[in-house]
A and B are shown apart, each in its own frame.
Chain A
Amino acid sequence: MDKTKMQQYTDAFEARKTGGMSEPLWVRRLREEAMAAFVEKGFPSTRDEAWRHTDLTAVREGAFIFEHKPVSLPQGRIEDLKKEYGGNLVVFVNGRYVEEVSSLPGNIGVTGLPKALESMPELESHCGTHADLKQNAFVALNTAFLGEGVLIKIPEGQVLEVPLRLMFIADPAIDGAIFQPRVLVLAGKRSAGTIVEHYSSAGSKSYFTNVVSEIILEEGASFRHYKIQDESKKAFHMASTWVVQEKGSRFSSWALSTGSRLMRNDCYVGLTKEETSCALNGLYLGDGEQHLDQHTFIDHRKPAGKSRQFFKGLMAGKSRGVFGGKVLVRQGAVQTDATQVNKNLLLSDEARVDTQPQLEIDTDDVKCSHGAAVGPLQEDAVFYLRSRGIGERDAGRILARGFVQEVIDAAEQDFFKRELEERVSQKLEAQFCQS
């Protein structure tokens, strides 16, 4: 990486050190280790296998601003959010947790990360241990500036009845801000819950979101992780979610990506104990010059794990969609059952999709499959609709809507399905305006 560009990161890191923030020794060491890893590696290039189809030049060349003044949202906006999404709301503005305006459920713990890191030494065994800062430069960068974010702790046996929405609103005053929030979820034994991570933009300034989420499911826990990313087309969105599953736990996720200029959404799930199951679903819809990259990695480490993956992409205009999905079955992870499906539609001759499903199997008692497809709208279906009087563009839009319905149905909860349906329909309108 260009030395002068690297300078901004090291400078910001030094400034943060001398800023007199109090932090436990382990946090400081973790941050230093992360910074060293980041300085050593820099951002990946397209020569790195996992980044072959995503060019980070724009990020690498970017100049970013690390310190921002706190901004408060107008009261009306908060009320609107509460009305729109109901009860449990955790609000972040420009990457910073705003406790005053959040409304939290009673039976679970939601703590701002700075406070949690200071008061809970036991976090050392989780924070930064699951997200791989050695391999992933964005994790390293986020960890080097660890501080903002939230800890969500669902105690043993507790059920979070109403989904908790984490609303990340970006409203920077100047171009080039970087926000690096961190989410840590500890789902206790036999607990259950759902969170929605929602990233959106308020203003029209360019900025860079670099978020890391770590989710730990203890024995028998059941947890849903929904994500909506509709940031502005001037934003970079780099996100990774790291899930660790203990015995008998169940995890499911659903990620809708419609926004940002350049996105990378990584999801790693470690099935670290026996009899775990996970289901990852998602949809990426691009238009204009958007570049949306969805990656997954499911690591079957112990016997009788089950994983399901279902992702679809729909690209219009000059947008580019990328999918990379790896299933690793380690020696000894017998009776693994893993499937992965990735299907993509291209709506324009200038759009492009690259898909790379990967199966890596190191034992024999398994049942694994993957399927990937890229193609156009079904020609005879377009004809069928048009022969019933529906115009060409509408026919395309209806078929595209049908194409994504299957993956929307995989979202288990109605509130989220409805939200998906609405957001997807909106995005399709925009996509078909361009095609």
Chain B
Amino acid sequence: MLEIKDLHVSVEGVEILKGIDLKVRAGEVHAIMGPNGSGKSTLTRVLAGHPAYQVTKGSVTYEGKDLFALSIEERARQGVFLAFQYPVDIPGVNNAYFLKAALNEIRKAKGLDELDAMEFLEFLKEKMKTVEMDESFLNRPVNEGFSGGEKKRNEILQMAVLNPKLAILDETDSGLDIDALKIISEGINRLRSPDRSIILVTHYQRILNYITPDHIHVLMGGKIVKSGGKDLALQLEEKGYEWVKET
């Protein structure tokens, strides 16, 4: 599904990622863990195509294609989804309108018919139940005035609606209380499937109590310094990130 080779990335001349190698197969869930400032968010945003980052070296192949040759929206239309750590407020644009516009673009790209307003609403309401979202939500502007938990739930809802092949979740667990964490984890688990891959970026081990990854990688100083199975998370939780440095 996704293959990252020797990826180097800079922001305003400062190198953040210093050679990342990562292979994600269809159906796998990879957790990427690491302390603050290790480059986790940079990795997720580069994959989605944020204009502030310069790829200075290396390559990323997505479903056999050069990911960097695709624009931001082309990546999304071909199934790359980024759940933002800080979802953006869009005053004046309501959720339903926003999601319909996005979904229909993606359907168009897949050669499917666009949904009309009624069909879409029905479909959306179905999905909203899965993340326990109130219908009043539909008419509120995107992310504006949302609590932290609501914003994260909105990201998972968007993921459920847009049905991506590769979901990249950037600290979707941060700032959530335990109930919200459960709802969101369930939402994510429901989306696990043999033809969908998930990259879960997190600072804490906590969310991994609810979502069991196939692989765990530790990102430090812009490099993956350790990879392992699900037990690695527990070791990290116990010994801290310093321990990885020492080993």
A interface vs B, CB < 8 Å? 378-381, 383-392, 394-395, 398-399, 401-406
A388–B93 touching, CB < 8 Å: no
Q: Any chain A CB within 8 A of the CB of B102?
A: yes
- Find out whether the CB atom of A378 lies under 8 angstroms from the CB atom of B93: no
Q: How long is the Cα–Cα vector from A405 to B93 in the complex, in angstroms?
A: 8
B82: nearest chain-A partner, CB-CB: A387
Inter-chain contacts of A390 with B (CB < 8 A): 73, 76, 101-102, 105
Instruction: Tell me, yes or no, whether B236 is within 8 Å of chain A by CB.
Output: no
Select which of B73, B92, B93, B162 is within 8 A of A386 by beta carbon: B73
State whether B76 touches A389 (Cβ < 8 A): yes
**Can you name the residue of chain A whose Cβ is closest to the Cβ of B141?**
A402
Q: Give the nearest-CB partner of B99 in chain A.
A: A388
**Which B residues, 98 to 137, have Cβ-Cβ distances below 8 Å to chain A?**
98, 101-103, 105-106, 109
Show 27 A/B contacts (Cβ-Cβ < 8 Å), sorted by A: A381-B89, A381-B90, A385-B102, A387-B49, A387-B72, A387-B73, A387-B84, A388-B162, A389-B103, A389-B106, A389-B162, A390-B73, A390-B105, A392-B72, A392-B73, A394-B101, A395-B73, A398-B90, A398-B97, A398-B98, A401-B93, A402-B90, A402-B91, A403-B92, A404-B92, A405-B91, A405-B92
Residue of A nearest to B74 (CB): A389
Chain B residues whose C-beta falls within 8 Å of the C-beta of A394 in the assembled complex: 101, 105
Q: How far is the CB of A328 from chain B (nearest CB, A)?
A: 31
Top 7 closest pairs, chain A to chain B, by CB = A402-B92, A405-B92, A389-B76, A402-B93, A386-B72, A388-B102, A384-B88
**Contact: A384 with B84, CB < 8 Å?**
yes
- Kindly list chain B residues whose C-beta atoms are within 8 Å of the C-beta of A398: 90, 93, 97-98, 101
Check if A384 sits within 8 Å of B105, measured CB to CB: no
With A383-B51, A388-B102, A390-B101 known, 8 other A-B pairs at CB within 8 A are A378-B88, A386-B76, A387-B73, A388-B98, A390-B102, A392-B72, A402-B141, A405-B91
- A388 to B76, Cβ gap below 8 A? yes
- Given A388-B162, A398-B98, is A403 in contact with B77 using a C-beta cutoff of 8 Å? no
Q: Is B35 an interface residue (CB 8 A)?
A: no
- A388 contacts B158, C-beta separation under 8 Å: yes
Question: Does B50 sit within 8 A of A, measured CB to CB?
Answer: yes
- Roughly how many angstroms separate A389 CA and B48 CA in the complex, as a whole number? 11
Nearest CB on A from B137, distance (A) = 17
Per the bound structure, the CA–CA distance linking A394 and B158 in Å amounts to 18
Which residues on the A side are within 8 Å of B98 (C-beta)?
385, 388, 398
CB-based nearest B residue for A389: B76
Pairwise interchain contact A399-B90, C-beta atoms closer than 8 A: yes
A1 to B183 CA separation, bound complex (whole angstroms): 73
B71 at the interface (CB under 8 A from A): yes
Instruction: Please give me the residue from chain B that is nearest to A378 by CB atom.
Output: B88
Q: Which residue of A lies closest to B93 (CB)?
A: A402
B19 within 8 A of A: no
Question: What's the nearest-Cβ distance from chain A to residue B172, in Å?
Answer: 15
Give bound CA distance, A394 to B49, whole Å: 17
Interface residues of B in 51-89 (CB under 8 A from A): 51, 71-73, 75-77, 81-82, 84, 87-89
Is the beta-carbon distance between B76 and A387 smaller than 8 angstroms? yes
- Expressed in whole angstroms, the minimum distance between the Cβ of B12 and any Cβ of chain A is 14
Q: Once bound together, how far apart are the Cα atoms of A388 and B167, in whole Å?
A: 12
Residues of chain A lying within 8 A (CB to CB) of residue B90: 381, 384-385, 398-399, 402
> CA A381 – CA B88 in complex, angstroms?
6
Known contacts: A379-B51, A402-B91. The answer to whether A389 contacts B102 by CB under 8 A is yes
Q: Which residues of the partner chain B approach A383 to less than 8 Å between Cβ atoms? A: 48-51, 72, 88
- B106 with A386: CB separation less than 8 A: no
Q: In the docked arrangement, what's the CA distance between A404 and B91, Å?
A: 9
Among candidates B81, B91, B101, B109, residue contacting A403 with C-beta atoms closer than 8 Å: B91
B231 shortest CB reach to chain A, Å? 33
Across the interface, do B71 and A392 meet the contact criterion of CB distance under 8 Å? Answer: yes
From B50, which residue of chain A is reached at the shortest CB distance? A383
Which residues of the other chain, A, contact B81 by a CB distance below 8 angstroms?
387
Q: Measured between alpha carbons, how far is A406 from B94 in the docked complex, in Å?
A: 12
A389-B51 in contact (CB<8A): no
Which residues of A have CB within 8 Å of B72?
Answer: 383, 386-387, 392
Q: How far is the CA of A394 from the CA of B84 in the complex (A)?
A: 20
Q: Residues of B contacting A395 with CB < 8 Å?
A: 73
How far apart sit A404 and B92, CA to CA, in the bound complex (Å)? 7
Q: Kindly list chain A residues whose C-beta atoms are within 8 Å of the C-beta of B50.
A: 383
Contacts of A391 in B (CB 8 A): 73, 105
Q: Which of B72, B81, B101 has the most CB of A within 10 A?
A: B72
- Residues of chain B within 8 A (CB-CB) of A385 are 90, 98, 102
Tell me the complex Cα distance, A317–B167, Å.
Answer: 38
Q: Are A389 and B71 in contact (CB under 8 A)?
A: no
**Whole-angstrom CA separation of A122 from B106 in the bound complex:** 66
In the assembly, what is the distance between CA of A405 and CA of B139, in Å? Answer: 13
Residues in A with CB closer than 8 Å to B93 are: 398-399, 401-402, 405
Please measure, in the bound complex, the distance between the C-alpha atom of A390 and the C-alpha atom of B89, giving whole angstroms: 16
Name which residue of chain B comes closest to A397, CB basis.
B101
C-alpha spacing A267/B169, complex, angstroms: 51
Quote the shortest CB–CB distance from A390 to chain B (angstroms). Answer: 5
B 198-217 contacts with A by CB, 8 A: none
B54 to chain A, nearest CB (A): 15
Chain B residue at minimal CB-CB distance from A386: B72
Residues on B with C-beta less than 8 A from A399 are 90, 93
> Please, which residue of chain B has its CB at the minimum distance from the CB of A409?
B92
Q: Do B88 and A380 touch (CB < 8 A)? A: yes
**Which of A384, A388, A389, A406 is B91 in contact with, Cβ under 8 Å?**
A406
The minimal Cβ–Cβ distance linking B20 to chain A, given in whole angstroms, is 20
Most chain A CB neighbours (cut-off 10 Å) among B48, B77, B82, B105: B105
Q: Which residues of the other chain, A, contact B88 by a CB distance below 8 angstroms?
A: 378, 380-381, 383-384
> CA–CA, A390 to B77, complex, Å?
8
How many whole Å from B74's CB to the nearest CB in chain A? 9
Chain B hits for A380, CB < 8 A: 88
A-side contacts of B48, CB under 8 Å: 383, 387
How far, in angstroms, from A389 to B73 measured CA to CA in the complex? 4
A402 proximity list for chain B (CB < 8 A): 90-93, 141
List residues of B (18-53) whose CB comes within 8 Å of A's CBs. 48-51
